[in-house]
C-alpha cells in the first residue's frame, strides 16, 4: 500500500479520525449528563431552601400567634374607675374636692391597651376560616372571662407542611381562678400561605380548644360551695354595713372594691369546665374539680369603730365629709366613713389640700434640721414671698413666739418663715417620710398624699402650710397622725400587713406629741371638749379663689391606739367643723351618746 506523505496509509488515517469523533461524542454526552445532574442538584437545593424558609415562616407565625393569644388571655383588665363608688356607679366627685391622683388615672387606660395590642396582633396573624377573625379574637376573650383564666402556657410542637397548607400542634395549660389544677389539652393551628409567603392562622373555634365549633363555648359550672366572707378584725362579717359595702368592701356582681381584689380567694372553689351551646345547654364536661367553700378573709376593719365613725360624722355641720380611723400600731384601717353614707368615696379617694394639718410635716422638717420647741419665730399678720402676700386667719399676730406656740396657734406667717430657714430639700424629705409620694395606698382605687417639688419660693411657702400643689386624702392624713403616735409611718392597709413603713426621727417625736397635745389644751382646738388624752391638729384649707376664699375644715388626731382624720367640705375653720366630729367619735368609742347635726339657722 502506498504511503502518504506523512508516512501513514489512507485507511489508517480514516480509522484514527473515526476514533476521535467517538471520543468527542462521549465528551459531549458526558457534559450534557453533568449539566443535567448539576441542574437537578441546583433545583433540589433551591427547593430544599424554599421548604426550609416556608417552615421557618410557619413556625415564626405560630410562635407569634400563641404569644399574642397568651397576652390577650393573661394581661390584666383596666383598673376600676378612681371616682365614684367601687361598683362603677354614677356617683361623681363633688366640685369642692380635688380630683383623685392623676397617676392613678393615667395607669387605667394602659392596662386595657395591653389587651388591645394583643388582640390586634392575633388579628394580624389570622385569616378568616370557619369564623371571621374578629369572632376568633372575641372567642379568646370569652374563654378568658368565662373560665377566669389567671395564667396560660401555650407551647408549639413540630409543624407539618404540605405545599401552601400547614398544621402546628400545641399544648395548653390554663390556670383557672379557684381551681387547684390547670386545664390542660392539646390543640392544633391550621395555617395557610395567603400569597407571597405570608402565612396566617385560619380562624377556627377548634384552634382555641379542640371541642369547640361554631355555636359552642367553654364555661364554668358553678361550685356547690359557698362564697367566703370578708370579716372585721374580730371575725364579724362586713356585709351588714351598707356604707362599707358601697365603698371599701364593694360588691360581688359587678365585682368591685375588696370583693374584686380578693375574688380568687373568696369565691367558692371547685366546679367543672364544660362545653355549652349558645342556648346554655351543657354538651360535654371537660374537667371536674372538687367543690369547697371560699376563704374567709379577716380585714383590719373594726365594726365598733366603723359605727362610732358613722355616728360621729352624722353630727357634722355640713352635708359632705369623710372620716378615717387607723390603728396607730400597725397602720391598719379601722374605719372608713363617707357622708352622705354610701355616697362618693371621699374617705379613701377624695384628694384635698391638707391645709394646716400638713404643719405636722413642716414641724418634723424643722426638728430634723436642728430646730426645737423653743426656737423663736415671728408671727406677724402678713408675710410677703416672691411678690405674694400670705396672711393669718382673722388677721392674727402674736409677735415672736416659740415653735411650740406657733404650732398650737397654727400661725401661717411663722411657719412660712420657718420653712425659709430650712435647707432646700428639708420639707420634701419630711413629706416622703410620711408617704407623700403620689402612690395608691390600698389595692382598690385610692389616693394617698402628693408633694410635688416646689418650683419657686412662693410654692415652697404655700407647701409649708399645706396649700399650693400639696394634696392628701383623709386616709393619708389619718396615717400622718398615727405616725406621730407610734413613731413610725405605716402605709395604710386593710388585709395582711403594711407593705412599707418609715421610722420618724427620734428627736422629733417628743416635741411633735407635745405640740399636738397643746393644740387641744391651749391652741386652736382648746374650745372643743375632747374626751381623754387627745392629741390633734386643726386645718383650714383653701380650695378656690374668693374673698374670703372657700375652705374645707380638717382635724387629725390620735388617742391611745386609734388615730383619726376628718374633713368637712366647705366646713370653714377646722376647729369649728371637723374637731367637734372627732370629739363625737372618741365619745362614741367610749360608749357615749352623740347628738345629731346642729339645727339649721332659722
Alpha-carbon gap, residue 322 to 301, rounded angstroms: 16
CATH says 54-298 is which class? alpha beta
Q: What is the mean pLDDT of the chain?
A: 88
Q: In this predicted model, what pLDDT tens digit does every residue of 202-222 receive, in sequence order? A: 999 999 999 999 999 999 998
Alpha-carbon gap, residue 4 to 337, rounded angstroms: 133
Q: How many residues does the chain have?
A: 602
Domain 54-298 and domain 303-589, same fold? Reply is no
pLDDT at 101 over 50: no
Contact 489, 361 (CB under 8 A): no
Helix (H, G, I), strand (E, B) or coil at 191: strand
Closest CA to 530 of 574, 479, 485, 579: 579
Which DSSP string do the residues of 115-137 spell out, in sequence order?
Answer: HHHHHHHHHHTEE-SSS-HHHHH
- Output the pLDDT for position 546: 86
Alpha-carbon gap, residue 354 to 540, rounded angstroms: 8
pTM, whole model, 2 decimals? Answer: 0.73
Least confident of 22-31, 123-132, 147-156, 294-303: 22-31
- Write the CB contacts of 528 (distance below 8 Å, at least 6 apart in sequence): 520, 575, 579, 580, 583
**Domain spanning 303-589 has what CATH number?**
3.40.710.10
Closest CA to 95 of 577, 544, 591, 513: 544
Categorize the per-residue pLDDT at 43 as very low, low, confident or very high, splitting at 50, 70 and 90: low
Q: In this predicted model, what pLDDT tens digit does every residue of 471-520 receive, in sequence order? A: 999 999 999 999 999 999 999 999 999 999 999 999 999 999 999 999 99
- Output the pLDDT for position 378: 97
> What are phi and psi for residue 144, nearest 5 degrees?
-55, -50
What's the mean pLDDT in 525-530?
97
- Output the pLDDT for position 20: 66
pLDDT at 415 over 50: yes
HEC readout, 414-468: HHHHHHHCCCCCHHHHHHHHCCECCCCCCCCCCCCEECCCCCCHHHHHHHHCCCC
Domain boundaries, the chain: 54-298, 303-589
> What are phi and psi for residue 336, nearest 5 degrees?
-140, 110
- Output the pLDDT for position 40: 55
pLDDT at 38 over 60: no
- Output the pLDDT for position 16: 55
79: Cα separation from own chain's centroid: 6
pLDDT at 89 over 50: no
The DSSP call for residue 225 is S
Categorize the per-residue pLDDT at 25 as very low, low, confident or very high, splitting at 50, 70 and 90: low
Q: In this predicted model, what pLDDT tens digit does every residue of 221-263 receive, in sequence order? A: 988 899 999 999 999 999 888 889 888 999 888 889 999 999 9
> What are phi and psi for residue 559, nearest 5 degrees?
-145, 120
Amino acid at each position: 500500500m502506498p504511503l502518504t506523505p506523512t508516512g501513514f496509509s489512507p485507511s489508517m488515517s480514516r480509522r484514527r479520525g473515526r476514533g476521535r469523533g467517538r471520543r468527542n461524542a462521549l465528551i459531549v454526552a458526558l457534559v450534557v449528563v453533568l449539566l443535567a445532574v448539576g441542574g437537578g442538584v441546583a433545583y433540589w437545593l433551591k427547593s430544599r431552601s424554599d421548604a426550609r424558609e416556608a417552615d421557618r415562616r410557619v413556625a415564626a407565625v405560630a410562635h407569634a400567634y400563641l404569644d399574642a393569644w397568651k397576652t390577650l388571655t393573661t394581661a390584666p383588665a383596666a383598673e376600676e374607675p378612681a371616682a365614684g363608688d367601687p361598683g362603677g356607679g354614677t356617683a361623681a366627685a363633688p366640685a369642692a374636692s380635688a380630683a383623685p391622683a392623676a397617676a392613678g388615672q393615667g395607669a387605667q387606660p394602659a392596662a386595657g391597651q395591653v389587651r388591645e395590642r394583643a388582640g390586634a396582633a392575633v388579628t394580624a396573624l389570622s385569616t378568616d376560616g370557619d369564623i371571621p377573625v374578629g369572632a376568633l379574637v372575641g372567642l379568646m376573650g370569652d374563654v378568658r372571662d368565662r373560665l377566669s383564666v389567671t395564667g396560660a402556657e401555650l407551647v408549639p410542637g413540630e409543624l407539618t407542611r404540605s405545599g401552601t397548607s400547614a398544621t402546628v400542634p400545641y399544648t395548653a395549660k390554663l390556670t383557672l381562678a379557684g381551681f387547684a389544677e390547670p386545664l390542660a389539652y392539646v390543640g392544633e393551628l391550621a395555617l395557610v400561605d395567603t400569597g407571597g409567603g405570608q402565612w396566617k392562622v385560619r380562624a377556627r373555634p377548634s384552634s382555641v380548644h379542640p371541642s369547640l365549633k361554631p355555636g359552642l363555648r367553654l364555661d364554668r359550672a358553678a361550685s356547690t360551695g359557698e362564697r367566703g366572707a370578708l370579716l372585721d378584725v374580730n371575725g364579724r362579717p362586713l356585709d351588714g354595713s351598707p356604707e362599707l359595702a358601697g365603698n371599701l368592701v364593694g360588691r360581688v356582681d359587678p365585682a368591685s372594691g375588696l370583693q374584686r381584689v380578693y375574688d380568687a380567694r373568696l369565691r367558692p372553689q371547685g366546679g367543672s369546665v364544660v362545653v355549652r351551646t349558645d342556648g346554655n345547654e351543657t354538651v360535654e364536661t371537660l374537667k371536674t374539680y372538687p367543690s369547697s367553700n371560699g376563704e374567709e378573709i379577716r380585714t383590719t376593719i373594726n365594726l365598733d369603730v366603723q359605727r362610732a365613725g358613722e355616728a360621729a360624722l352624722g353630727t357634722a355641720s355640713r352635708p359632705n365629709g369623710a372620716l378615717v380611723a387607723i390603728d396607730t400600731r400597725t397602720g391598719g384601717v379601722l374605719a372608713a366613713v363617707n357622708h352622705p353614707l354610701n355616697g362618693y368615696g371621699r374617705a379613701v379617694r377624695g384628694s384635698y389640700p391638707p391645709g394646716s394639718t400638713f404643719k405636722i410635716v413642716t414641724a418634723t422638717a424643722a426638728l430634723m434640721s436642728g430646730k426645737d420647741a423653743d426656737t423663736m419665730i415671728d408671727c406677724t399678720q402678713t408675710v410677703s414671698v416672691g411678690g405674694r402676700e400670705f396672711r393669718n386667719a382673722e388677721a392674727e399676730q402674736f409677735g415672736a413666739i416659740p415653735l411650740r406656740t406657733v404650732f398650737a396657734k397654727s400661725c401661717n406667717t411663722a411657719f412660712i418663715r420657718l420653712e425659709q430657714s430650712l435647707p432646700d430639700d428639708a420639707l420634701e424629705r419630711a413629706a416622703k417620710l410620711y408617704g407623700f409620694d403620689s402612690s395608691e395606698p390600698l389595692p382598690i382605687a385610692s389616693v394617698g398624699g402628693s408633694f410635688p417639688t416646689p418650683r419657686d419660693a412662693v410654692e415652697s411657702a404655700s407647701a409649708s402650710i399645706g396649700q399650693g400643689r400639696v394634696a392628701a386624702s383623709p386616709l393619708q392624713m389619718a396615717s400622718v397622725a398615727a405616725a406621730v403616735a407610734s413613731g413610725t409611718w405605716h402605709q395604710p392597709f386593710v388585709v395582711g400587713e403594711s407593705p412599707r413603713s418609715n421610722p420618724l426621727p427620734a428627736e422629733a417625736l417628743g416635741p411633735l406629741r407635745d405640740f399636738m397635745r397643746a393644740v387641744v389644751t391651749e391652741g386652736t382646738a382648746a374650745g372643743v371638749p375632747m374626751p381623754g388624752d387627745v392629741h390633734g391638729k386643726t386645718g383650714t384649707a383653701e380650695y378656690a379663689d374668693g374673698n374670703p376664699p372657700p375652705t374645707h375644715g380638717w382635724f387629725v388626731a390620735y388617742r391611745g391606739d386609734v388615730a383619726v382624720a376628718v374633713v368637712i367640705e366647705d366646713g370653714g375653720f377646722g376647729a369649728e367643723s371637723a374637731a367637734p366630729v372627732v370629739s363625737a367619735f372618741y365619745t362614741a368609742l367610749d360608749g357615749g351618746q352623740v347628738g345629731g347635726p346642729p339645727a339649721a339657722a332659722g
